[in-house]
Amino acid sequence: MQIRRSLSHHSGPRRSPHEVLRRLSAYVTPDTAPQDPVRELEDRVAGLLGKPRALFFPSGTMAQQVALRVHAERTGRRTFAAHPQTHLQVWENQGYSAVHGLRLHPVGDRNALMTLDDLRAAGEPLAAVVIELPQRDIGGLLPSFEDLAAQAKWARESGAAVHCDGARLWEAQTGYDATLAEISALFDTVYVSLYKALEGVRGAVLAGDDETIAQAAVWRRRLGGAVVDAWPLAAAALMGMDVNLPRMPEFRDHARRIAAAVNADGFAHTTPDVPATPLFHVHLPLSREDAQRAARNLEEETGIRLFLYARSNPDPRRCSFEVSVGISGLEFTPDEVVELIKGLPSRV
Ligand SMILES: Cc1ncc(COP(=O)(O)O)c(C=O)c1O
């Protein structure tokens, strides 16, 4: 059965090639088409983040490894600190080590946000401190601006660069009383993703000072990421910046409404209780296998995708899944999400 609606913006009708091309061809007309979409995207991201320069990458995985490589060469240090559940560790087959010979010092509790005391306890010279906003794998928790500033200050004073894993910085900004540029000013380098709530096809941008980005461009070429005609990815991202970016607060508010309804119902619950950004986790009283089977059956019977995959829990009778509200998520009322979740046991 074809997916008709999806609570996950990583899948579903809005991401089909036909639908992306349809939206893109309506958006890019001979009058409005940018001459050089990649350059325009880089300039626009640099402007929004208040950084001198920005560089397109085919993936965030490559952009972040390059940022760390540049920081390591500049500082003459090989170790970077990050949360134990950093994307660099969990989802990238340790490319930082296999490709670049770098070392991760995991800092803090794997189920809580990294703190200043955790960083202080690291006890060794660091090339960089990586801060992920929001911390995706623990439900999208977001440090306060004050904590963020204190951690960045500590890193700088200890000679380390501060790097932002801003895969969802567009979304995270809604959780702060600060602009994208004010948040980015705390960091030496910032990576942003082009395809999450922004709904581009794929791709990433790394922003920083001129020298850092010039060095990053060398590594991008070495790694095969200097894709000359990357304009379709850039054009889709520019469309996302026009259409989706202004709607991030709306996505965050809808996420809060869904989470409130789930928590009020009580069959499942969310972390955080009140999402700081459009991303949160739903915890289910079901094993991971049962939840996945039920979600597959739901998909086959109704064409509705509730989640891409369930996450395991130390208690095998429980599991969780990620919700990140974007345009697809707005199609679901909070009550409907509650009913879909409560209906999972009957579909196992
Ligand atoms: C927090 C975080 N960092 C980095 C990445 C890597 O991005 P990419 O898929 O473009 O390599 C992702 C992708 O999901 C992410 O969620």
Is residue 162 situated within a structural domain? Answer: yes
209 and 273, same domain (yes or no): no
Query: Which residue's C-alpha comes closest to atom 16 of ligand 1?
Result: 167
174 and 193, same domain (yes or no): yes
102 and 206, same domain (yes or no): yes
Q: How far is the CA of 60 from the centre of ligand 1 (A)?
A: 5
Is residue 18 situated within a structural domain? Answer: no
Is residue 136 situated within a structural domain? Answer: yes
Pull the structure tokens for residue 234: 């850039």
| pLDDT of the residue at 131 | 98
pLDDT by residue for the chain (348 residues), tens only, comes to 788 999 987 777 888 889 889 999 888 887 777 889 999 999 999 999 999 999 999 999 999 999 999 999 999 999 999 999 999 999 999 999 999 999 999 999 999 999 999 999 999 999 999 999 999 999 999 999 999 999 999 999 999 999 999 999 999 999 999 999 999 999 999 999 999 989 999 999 999 999 999 999 999 999 999 999 999 999 999 999 999 999 999 999 999 999 999 999 999 999 999 999 999 999 999 999 999 999 999 999 999 999 989 999 999 999 999 999 999 999 999 999 999 999 999 999
Is residue 24 situated within a structural domain? Answer: no
| pLDDT of the residue at 30 | 78
| pLDDT of the residue at 262 | 98
Q: How far is the CA of 131 from the centre of ligand 1 (A)?
A: 13
Q: Which of 169, 193, 308, 311 to mutate to test the pocket of ligand 1 (most atoms within 8 A of CB)?
A: 193
CA angle at 300 for the pair 298 and 303, rounded to the nearest 5°: 80
Q: Which atom of ligand 1 is nearest to the CA of 136?
A: 1
What is the extent of the structural domain holding 201?
34-243
Q: What are the pocket residues of ligand 1 if the criterion is a CB atom closer than 6 Å to any ligand atom?
A: 59-61, 87, 132, 136, 165, 167, 193, 204
| pLDDT of the residue at 344 | 98
Task: Say if CB 212 and CB 294 are below 8 A apart.
Answer: no
| pLDDT of the residue at 16 | 87
String of DSSP letters for 158-219: TT-EEEEEETTHHHHGGGSSS-HHHHHTT-SEEEEESSSTT--SS-EEEEE-HHHHHHHHHH
Q: How far is the CA of 317 from the centre of ligand 1 (A)?
A: 29
Is residue 157 situated within a structural domain? Answer: yes
| pLDDT of the residue at 2 | 84
151 and 101, same domain (yes or no): yes
Query: Which residue's C-alpha comes closest to atom 8 of ligand 1?
Result: 60
**SS3 category, 2:** coil
Q: Using the 8-state DSSP alphabet, how is residue 114 labeled?
A: -
| pLDDT of the residue at 35 | 86
- Indicate the burial class of 229 (C-beta count within 10 angstroms; 0-12, 13-18, 19 or more): exposed
CATH at 146? 3.40.640.10
Closest by CA position to 165, among listed 137, 123, 144, 200: 137
Q: How far is the CA of 93 from the centre of ligand 1 (A)?
A: 13
Pull the structure tokens for residue 178: 């600060």
Q: How far is the CA of 195 from the centre of ligand 1 (A)?
A: 9
Q: How far is the CA of 29 from the centre of ligand 1 (A)?
A: 31
**End position of a domain, from candidates 187, 220, 243:** 243
148 and 129, same domain (yes or no): yes
Is residue 28 situated within a structural domain? Answer: no
189 and 69, same domain (yes or no): yes
**End position of a domain, from candidates 202, 225, 243:** 243
142 and 264, same domain (yes or no): no
**End position of a domain, from candidates 219, 243, 267:** 243
Task: Say if CB 322 and CB 10 are below 8 A apart.
Answer: no
| pLDDT of the residue at 15 | 85
Query: Which residue's C-alpha comes closest to atom 5 of ligand 1?
Result: 60
Q: How many domains does the chain have?
A: 2
| pLDDT of the residue at 293 | 97
115 and 175, same domain (yes or no): yes
229 and 82, same domain (yes or no): yes
